Structure 1
Amino acid sequence: MISPFLVVTFVFYYLPLLGWSFAFMDYIPGVPIFEQQFVGLKYFRIIFSGGNDFLLVMKNTLSLSFLGLATAPIPVIFAIMLSEVRHSKLSKTIQTLTSIPNFISWILVYAIAFALFSSQEGMINKILLDWHVIDKPLEPLISSTYAWYFQILIGLWKGTGWGAIIYIAAIAGIDQEQYEAAEIDGAGRFRKIWHVTIPGILPTFFVLLLLAISNILSNGFEQYYVFQNAMNSNKLEVFDTYIYRMGIANAEYAFSTAMGIFKSVISIILLLSANSLSKAVRKESII
């Protein structure tokens, strides 16, 4: 029964790895693979030669990823607060409303952000200008100064509700007798959160945090692609958008393949390192 899924996995995940051979050739589309000129590690040397945007791309990718890691506790806090809402219908309504943005495409998210924050027609700019709160329009969509922070806020709006679901499930799995025992010992609501809820969901948090660390070079494509423009591209050019631009827009297939291999190898190393850290600290493996 599992064989169809193994076939699908092989076809869509392992067979495309044959394309990695392009990184070692001066690839010309249409020429048979065995007739391509072999160049060895030429394109890997170019990556580290400093003659391209590699350092800028690495800086942007790591900065956005570390900012994302810094906000990782926010879904945990939201899940704890939501679990403390005593009115079940209100709790379910809040959970539903905060999960909906996860299903909105990034194109529509940009359209919403444009309607709110565009310098000329943005609703928020109009309100703040009419109320004389600001003297000139805010420009978060084109500002390179605040580009990273604006993207993190957009990502939080879109993903916090959805990310909290797994923590809500973890909280629901905590033995209720622990809360009853804490209450008998005189613990109030905040003490029960601190001594029962948080320890109960910490294993889940650490597993997801370690997986996020292992995926630190893969911080997304769609978000940064749709929000990227000539004014903020120096802040929003990350690995995925750079590989797309070099491979599709500039037709530098060999170079973009080499960049993709580099990213995959680093991600594997980080995953294995995170797994080793988990074994050493928590005595549990995450893979």
Structure 2
Amino acid sequence: MVRYKFLYLLAVPGIAYFILFKFVPMWGLAIAFQDYNPYAGIDGSQWVGLKHFKELFADPSFYIMLRNTFAINLFGLVFMFPVPIALALMLNEVRHEVFKRFNQSIVYLPHFLSWVVVTSLTFFIFSTDVGIVNKLIMEAGHEPISFLSNPNYFWALITAQNMWKEAGWGTIIFLAAMAGVDPQRYEAAVVDGATRWKQIWHITLPAIRPTIIILLILRLGHMADVGFEQVLLMMNPLVTSVAEVFDTYAYSIGILRGQISIGVTVGMFKGVVGLVLVLVSNYVVKKMGHEGIY
């Protein structure tokens, strides 16, 4: 520790962040087992055991929320997760440095936009009244399509928003992994007559496989999480059946209705599901002969 004291010093803000905002608040999980009264506090509130968990699982909307949450995340896993990898592979093949950096900046930019801006753009593009897409459809002589109020399009819109906003930012880690590949391996492949595609398939992808596996395991740990702000802004009464997720339910029950114990119960359930998925996926990955996250 003496030898690397400056590295430990650099790590202090990150360590402090996790202690203050991740570990200390875990004491509040006790609220899930209480009829919590904000005036009495945790120490003065009545303990009720698993009462709130039973109420949550008995709620008719529980399985609807479970379906919606996993469906949105499954869409993201299938369609969103591979996009940063493909984008990083394409950017890695660009040899003109100025052009490469320009494109990196362009694809990173949406990450810094708030969900309010992204949702506003979505309305501007897909709304029935002023949407550009519907104007083109009507110009072609067809009836406008209610993209924003049709439940059949909701999951696709959420996935498309995530892809546009976060795909570029997700390439950073993969590009960093690709930068660590020994250039001599590519030189040897060229001497052996390997094409660019074969170099990608046999050198680049195997080199970043550990990174892909780790990020996939971590992604599975968030299968019970859906972007609360994104879904809340995109929701309307016509799509509630496919838009209601655990995050919005915890907000409406815990904050709007003041049933804080139920809100904490939902959060704890999500955490347990995420933990189980991480442990199971890590175990499966290790059984397949790869390195896991621990």
Q: Do the two structures share a fold, i.e. TM-score over 0.5?
A: yes
Q: Which sits farther off after the overlay, 190-199 or 27-36? A: 27-36
Find the counterpart in structure 1 of residue 163 from structure 2. Answer: 156
What value does the CA root-mean-square deviation take over the aligned residues? 1.9
In the alignment, is the contact (CA less than 8 A) between 1:278 and 1:286 conserved in 2? no
1:277 aligns with 2:292: no
Matched residue pairs, number? 284
1:57 aligns with 2:68: no
1:263 aligns with 2:254: no
Partner of residue 147 from structure 2, selected from 129, 140, 145 = 140
Partner of residue 88 from structure 1, selected from 81, 97, 100 = 97
Runs of 5+ consecutive residues of structure 2 not aligned to the other structure: 1-8
Distance 1:116 1:24 in 2: 45
Distance 2:204 2:14 in 1: 38
SS at match of 2:288: helix
1:213 aligns with 2:215: no
Give the alignment's TM-score, normalised by structure 2.
0.90
Partner of residue 112 from structure 1, selected from 111, 121, 145 = 121
In the alignment, is the contact (CA less than 8 A) between 2:174 and 2:211 conserved in 1? yes
**Amino acid aligned to 1:261:** M
SS at match of 1:145: helix
1:245 aligns with 2:224: no
CA deviation after TM superposition for structure 1 residue 6, in Å: 5.1
Find the counterpart in structure 2 of residue 45 from structure 1. Answer: 54
Q: Which sits farther off after the overlay, 20-29 or 155-164? A: 20-29
Runs of 5+ consecutive residues of structure 1 not aligned to the other structure: none
Stretches (4+) displaced over 3 A: 1-11, 32-35
In the alignment, is the contact (CA less than 8 A) between 2:137 and 2:143 conserved in 1? no
Find the counterpart in structure 2 of residue 73 from structure 1. Answer: 82
Alpha carbons of 1:8 and 1:147: their partners in 2 closer, same or farther (altered >3 Å)? closer
SS at match of 1:174: coil
Q: What do residues 225-247 of structure 1 show as CA deviations (whole Å, max 9, x unaligned)?
A: 11111111211222212111110
SS at match of 1:146: helix
**Amino acid aligned to 1:48:** F
1:197 aligns with 2:227: no
In the alignment, is the contact (CA less than 8 A) between 1:211 and 1:274 conserved in 2? no
**Amino acid aligned to 2:21:** F
Distance 1:143 1:82 in 2: 36
Q: Percent identity?
A: 36
Q: What do residues 91-110 of structure 1 show as CA deviations (whole Å, max 9, x unaligned)?
A: 21111111100110000001
CA deviation after TM superposition for structure 1 residue 182, in Å: 0.8
CA deviation after TM superposition for structure 1 residue 119, in Å: 0.5
Distance 1:5 1:206 in 2: 24
Alpha carbons of 1:114 and 1:3: their partners in 2 closer, same or farther (altered >3 Å)? closer
CA deviation after TM superposition for structure 1 residue 147, in Å: 0.7
**Amino acid aligned to 2:68:** N
